[in-house]
Amino acid sequence: MRLPNTPPRIDVSSSRDFGRLLVYIADVAKAIRLNSPYRGDYASRDPREVGLDVMWLADSLHCLDRLGLALLSDDAGEIVAACDSLLSYYRMFNEGVQGSGSGAKGDPKASFERHGHLCRPTEAMAVFADIRGKAAALVMTGGAEK
């Protein structure tokens, strides 16, 4: 049962979604680590490419705070908005940056393609879509799950 004037809550038992997201985060961290002296050929690699890869890989993680804050709010509408924002943002990791006027440095798609054996943005996008679906169902029904 929900208290009056409180937003619907998402089911916190979505451990499978959160587990999938943690695996994705760890995979991106591995890819970032491969752009450091951990990698044997680090010194011979193109520093610009290494820098751009680290930038885009890290960028795919730092924006996850929006979803985390939405989940902490227990507001299903905020969770839907956060997932929509992440789904839109993550498209550039799959499609690249369109047009020379984008102001972006490098190509996020190329960075993820170089590390595709470790991490795939589509995996994170599938998690966002699944979490969004659960939260949207709560918004539609106005109900709360316990």
Reported as a single tens digit per residue, the pLDDT across 8-65 is 555 555 788 999 999 999 999 999 999 999 888 888 999 999 999 999 999 999 999 9
The predicted pLDDT at position 96 comes to: 87
Cα 118 off chain centre by: 15
pTM higher than the cut 0.75:
yes
Q: How confident is the model at residue 6 (pLDDT cuts 50, 70, 90)?
A: low
Q: What's the mean pLDDT when you consider all of the chain?
A: 87
Q: What's the CA gap between 65 and 60, in Å, rounded?
A: 11
Given a cut of 70, whether residue 7 has pLDDT beyond it is no
Exposed e or buried b for every residue in 56-95, given b needs 16+ CB within 10 A? bbeebeeebebbeebbeeebbebbbbbbeebeebbebbee
Which whole number is the average pLDDT over 69-74? 93
The predicted pLDDT at position 39 comes to: 85
For 94-130, how does the pLDDT look when each residue is reduced to its tens digit (9 = 90+)? 998 865 555 678 899 999 999 999 999 999 999 999 9
Which whole number is the average pLDDT over 61-74? 95
Residue whose structure tokens are 């520093």: 47
Q: How confident is the model at residue 145 (pLDDT cuts 50, 70, 90)?
A: very low
The predicted pLDDT at position 1 comes to: 44
Please write down the long-range contacts of 22-26, taking CB distance under 8 Å and 24 or more positions apart: 23/123, 24/119, 24/123, 24/124, 24/127, 25/61, 25/64
